[in-house]
Amino acid sequence: MREVVFDTETTGLNAASGDRLVEIGCVELVNRVETGRTFHAYFNPERSMPPEAQAVHGLSEAFLADKPLFGDLVEDLLDFLEESPLVAHNASFDFAFLNHELSRINRPDIAPARMIDTLALSRSKFPGAKHSLDALCTRFGIDRSHRIKHGALLDAQLLAQVYIELTGGRQIGLGLADAAHGLSTAADAGDAGRAVTAPRPARPARPHAATPEELERHQAFLTKISDPLWALDQDREDLAAA
């Protein structure tokens, strides 16, 4: 199954009040395994950047001034997303901004049914714990030392690892039931797929009984050992029986 983990950066917290999308990062998963395919883009929001938002992601008006508009790259983005389920942390926030940008250029919204919210998954699995991306990385031992500021692609890559852990960890794709039948369980994932191996042929058991010649040589070897331990044990047994 193909899924896309994504994250966004914005000029603020409320798309309905005029805040805009300025960055998106997407990571492709197939059967909960990263394929290495990503999509990343910055967008000119056509408005000012509030200092408090810039403090979070470090994207300034000057940096974004020469970046493409969302509509310029929407086809590339939608081609990458396909019809796959979309995974995000606090997904309603990211979906609101993504759909707001789509509505501005008269494109249909992405259906909420495609949304998978890792924040909701975390709250269900670890009630009462901290559920930020940083907290979940710490819980699962995921290295985030290179995360100085928020960045859409970096955060999507970290979230992909968190999502894998939240949904069963790396062993989710081992397919032990299929392995019992001697079959590979690697899914067909395009370039990321692996060939299915054929069952190994059964081999007859190897003979392990000693031949008469081997037994004769072994007995001759034993007679050369002085005061063997097994002889002492036999003497004790004979005394006990007397």
Q: Is residue 138 scored above 50 in pLDDT?
A: yes
> Does residue 232 share a domain with residue 154?
no
pLDDT at 224: 83
Answer yes or no: is 204 within a domain: no
CATH of the domain at 11: 3.30.420.10
pLDDT at 201: 60
User: By residue range, what is the domain housing residue 59?
Assistant: 2-192
Cβ atoms of 41 and 34 within 8 Å: the answer is no
Overall number of domains in the chain: 2
What mean pLDDT is reported for the chain?
A: 84
pLDDT at 227: 75
Q: Is residue 242 scored above 70 in pLDDT?
A: no
Cα 170–Cα 161–Cα 175 angle in degrees, nearest 5: 20
Which position has the higher pLDDT, 139 or 221? 139
Per-residue pLDDT tens digits for 65-85? 999 999 999 999 999 999 999
Res. 90 pLDDT band, cuts 50 70 90: very high
Which H or E run contains 225?
none
> Does residue 228 share a domain with residue 118?
no
Answer yes or no: is 201 within a domain: no
Answer yes or no: is 206 within a domain: no
Lowest pLDDT segment from 41-55, 129-143, 196-210 = 196-210
> Does residue 222 share a domain with residue 133?
no
Residues tagged active-site: 150
> Does residue 228 share a domain with residue 112?
no
CA distances from 204 to 179, 195, 201 (A): 21, 28, 10
> Does residue 109 share a domain with residue 15?
yes
What does the alpha-carbon distance between residue 104 and residue 145 come to, in Å, rounded to a whole number?
37
> Does residue 231 share a domain with residue 188?
no
pLDDT at 73: 98
pLDDT at 176: 43
> Does residue 177 share a domain with residue 86?
yes
Answer yes or no: is 199 within a domain: no
Q: Is residue 178 scored above 50 in pLDDT?
A: no
Q: Is residue 192 scored above 50 in pLDDT?
A: no
Nearest CA to 94 among 155, 168, 46, 166?
155
Beta bridge partners of 33: 30
Q: Is residue 114 scored above 80 in pLDDT?
A: yes
**238 phi, psi to nearest 5 deg:** -65, -40
What is the rounded average pLDDT of the residues 171-191? 42
pLDDT at 106: 97
Q: Is residue 108 scored above 80 in pLDDT?
A: yes
pLDDT at 149: 77
Answer yes or no: is 68 within a domain: yes
Express the helix, strand and coil content of the chain in percent, nearest 5 each. Answer: 45, 15, 40
Strands (E) across the chain are located at: 2-10, 21-30, 33-42, 86-88, 115-117
Cβ atoms of 129 and 135 within 8 Å: the answer is yes
Measured torsion, CA atoms of residues 175, 4, 127, 93, in degrees rounded to the nearest 10: -170
What does the alpha-carbon distance between residue 139 and residue 151 come to, in Å, rounded to a whole number?
21
* pTM, entire model: 0.69
Look at the chain and count its residues.
Answer: 242
Q: Is residue 103 scored above 50 in pLDDT?
A: yes
